[in-house]
Structure 1
Amino acid sequence: MEFRSFWVVFALLFYIPTNTAIKCYQCSSDEDPKGEDLCGAYARFDERTHIAVDCFHDESVTPGTFCVKITKQSPRMFIWDARWRTVIRRCSSVTETGVTNVCNWGVDPMGHYWEECYCTSDGCNGASSVVISFVSMTLCLLATLLLRN
């Protein structure tokens, strides 16, 4: 009887579905070589030249169960007017609000715009939609300022 139960347990181990980790892009525009925009701070992020990393593998900067894209930029109006922008893409396991598949944005006390987008599908933090939402956010802020006066 003991020998039989060993084989049952052994066989069940092969039928238990393994949970695969999510794969996310990871890069930081702060680490880009001078004069290059590999992480998509100013130009479109090229998903073909990057490889999404398994979030529970040693290559992952941070382990996690979902992806995050964090964008920050200075408050100046034009890029040629010395405005800076930084983008970080990585795995994550904690959100400020506890909600995934959403973007949160705001302005910090120093006047820097920030946006954090959390998502739960492989490679989802490679999307360039955040740039569009920053434009929308800027237009909303301008409209608010103009309507106040």
Structure 2
Amino acid sequence: MKYILIAIVSTLFVASSDAIRCYQCASSEDGKGEDNCGAYVKFDVDRNIAVDCNSEESKMPGTFCMKVTQQGPIGFIWDGRWRQVIRRCASVADTGVTGVCNWGVYENGVYWEECYCSNDECNSAESKTVSMTLLASVLILSSVVMRIIL
């Protein structure tokens, strides 16, 4: 009876809730000519498998999903503007909230966006918070400001 009671109590302390499942990939890990993480083409959920964020498969444990996008400045357009996408589990959001995207432009003109969400496989979708017009406006404005400063 003592061992049964210990087993029941131990089971109560073990996390029994379903862990969140997120996609994990990075453009930097793609082979030459590949785009598995959706930097230039639509992210293909059939080619990628979401992982349990509390499993050994997860590169980082977490309780929600994250998608980071970075894009080179407008001046790189003739070279083919570079983009990078990272999808993974996360344990701490910079803002402390999920379901939102934060964005900005680094001093070197690189646009960045970080999106956090708390539903299974939610980091597969394209961000719906920033329009291409807004992105272009921010990039143009940042390049004008940089030219004035320099």
Fold match by TM threshold 0.5: yes
Q: CA deviation at 1:33?
A: 0.6
| Counterpart contact for 2:109–2:139, Cα < 8 Å | no
For structure 1, which runs of at least 5 residues remain unmatched after alignment?
Answer: none
For structure 2, which runs of at least 5 residues remain unmatched after alignment?
Answer: 143-150
Task: Name which one, 1 or 2, has greater alpha-carbon Rg.
Answer: 1
| Distance of aligned partners of 1:59 and 1:121 in 2 relative to their CA distance in 1, 3 Å threshold | same
Provide the residue aligned with 1:119 in structure 2: 117
Map 1:50-89; keep pairs closer than 5 Å. Answer: 50-76=48-74, 81-89=79-87
| Distance of aligned partners of 1:26 and 1:111 in 2 relative to their CA distance in 1, 3 Å threshold | same
- Please provide the CA RMSD for this pair: 2.8
With the length of structure 2 as denominator, give the TM-score of the two structures. 0.80
Question: What SS is found at the alignment partner of 2:130?
Answer: helix
Q: CA deviation at 1:100?
A: 0.8
1:43 aligns with 2:41: yes
Q: CA deviation at 1:81?
A: 3.9
With the length of structure 1 as denominator, give the TM-score of the two structures. 0.80
How many aligned residue pairs are there?
Answer: 142
Question: What SS is found at the alignment partner of 1:21?
Answer: coil
Identity among equivalent positions (%) equals 52
| Counterpart contact for 1:21–1:54, Cα < 8 Å | yes
